[in-house]
Amino acid sequence: MVKGLTLGKADEDAQRAAKQSSSVELLVQHRALEVTRHRIAAGKHFYLDEASEWSGFEFLYVIRGTLTLSSGEGKTAVHEGEYLHHHGLPERAYFRVDEDLELLMVSSPPSYHLVKDEIQEIMALARSVEEKDEATEGHCHRLERLAIRTGERLGLPGQRLIDLSYGAYLHDVGKVRVPDGILNKPGRLTDEEWVEMRRHPEHGAAMLREKSFLRAAAQIVVSHHENYDGSGYPHGLRGEEIPMEARVVSVVDAYDAITSERPYQVAGAKSKAVQELRLNAGTQFDPRVVRAFLSVIGEDELA
């Protein structure tokens, strides 16, 4: 090798990382400069932070995939082979990933540890609940995807979609604080056990509030079992008192619970779930959210 020249192979974690819906790898760090590779699945949203007083620099090169930048001036598509760079944004810039994305990012000063920590934090939380609650395997991922699409249909802006994706993904994380015997009990729960079980939204919100970037998601998590007519828990909120994002999670959660209950009978389960949503629109569910959701899953004619 030529002196002073380094050849690296960066993807020791690539196999594992590719299976996750988001991952970031640090390729090179030198003084205040950092090169990272990001993989983000289609349908996800992310942002670049505002930093008008900041003297740094960020460069993004699209290796693979496409994304859309939303700003006050409208939407701009960014394709494979194109790049963006900035040295201080007056406001956060929001992106939607349209096709599975691989990005090379050069930034100064480094921000890798921040991004990495956020992703790891979320993965660890989600894993903890998937390990404990047998019923949630794959559920969190499906919920996140459907919730984002419903939120987009309802016109929620970038930051709220990002918080919605965290809230949906982590909606039942509080179940890790519910005793195993109750969580996976095969038979009916007693009244006392139900009381314990119904504490999971508040447990989850308390866990998320510990991280500043998950504080907005905590508001969604605490309200995901509130009902539109005020009959839900923990606070009996009604209508617009319930955050829109929580009303979305409630609809998507009910749908996924029914459709994954009988995976061997997908068509039947889907129509049963759609029927359930329509029947309870206006009582358990916000009718506007139900309509948006049905259009997302291609059942608008039934709305």
**Separation CA 142–CA 288 (nearest Å):** 21
Q: How many chain residues touch Fe ion (CB under 5 A)?
A: 2
Of 142 and 153, nearer to Fe ion (C-beta) is 142
* Secondary structure letter of residue 187 according to DSSP: S
Shortest approach of Fe ion to residue 200 CB, angstroms? 6
**Separation CA 79–CA 67 (nearest Å):** 7
Shortest approach of Fe ion to residue 178 CB, angstroms? 10
Of 139 and 291, nearer to Fe ion (C-beta) is 139
Distance between terminal CA atoms of the chain? 66
Binding track over 47-86 against Fe ion, x by CB under 5 A: ----------------------------------------
Shortest approach of Fe ion to residue 140 CB, angstroms? 8
Of 84 and 168, nearer to Fe ion (C-beta) is 168
Report 3-22 residues binding Fe ion (CB under 5 A): none
Which residues does residue 302 pair with via DSSP β-bridges, in sequence order?
none
Residue 17: alpha-carbon gap to chain centroid: 17
Taking each helix axis as running N to C, give the angle between helix 139-153 and helix 158-169, from 0 to 180 degrees, rounded to the nearest 10: 160
**Please, are residues 172 and 142 in contact by the beta-carbon 8 Å criterion?**
no
Residue 111: alpha-carbon gap to chain centroid: 21
**Separation CA 268–CA 275 (nearest Å):** 11
Shortest approach of Fe ion to residue 67 CB, angstroms? 29
In the numeric block, the tokens 């990002």 are attached to: 162
Of 130 and 172, nearer to Fe ion (C-beta) is 172
Of 112 and 293, nearer to Fe ion (C-beta) is 293
Shortest approach of Fe ion to residue 68 CB, angstroms? 29
Shortest approach of Fe ion to residue 213 CB, angstroms? 22
Binding track over 235-274 against Fe ion, x by CB under 5 A: ------------------x---------------------
**Separation CA 108–CA 33 (nearest Å):** 5
Of 60 and 242, nearer to Fe ion (C-beta) is 242
Task: Kindly state whether residue 133 participates in binding Fe ion, applying the rule CB under 5 A.
Answer: no
**Separation CA 269–CA 256 (nearest Å):** 10
Shortest approach of Fe ion to residue 249 CB, angstroms? 8
Report 153-192 residues binding Fe ion (CB under 5 A): 172
Residue-wise over 56-94: b if at least 16 C-beta within 10 A, else e? Answer: eebebbbeebbbebbeeeeeeebeeeeebeeeebeeebb
Of 34 and 253, nearer to Fe ion (C-beta) is 253
* Chain residues that interact with Fe ion, rule: CB under 5 A: 172, 253
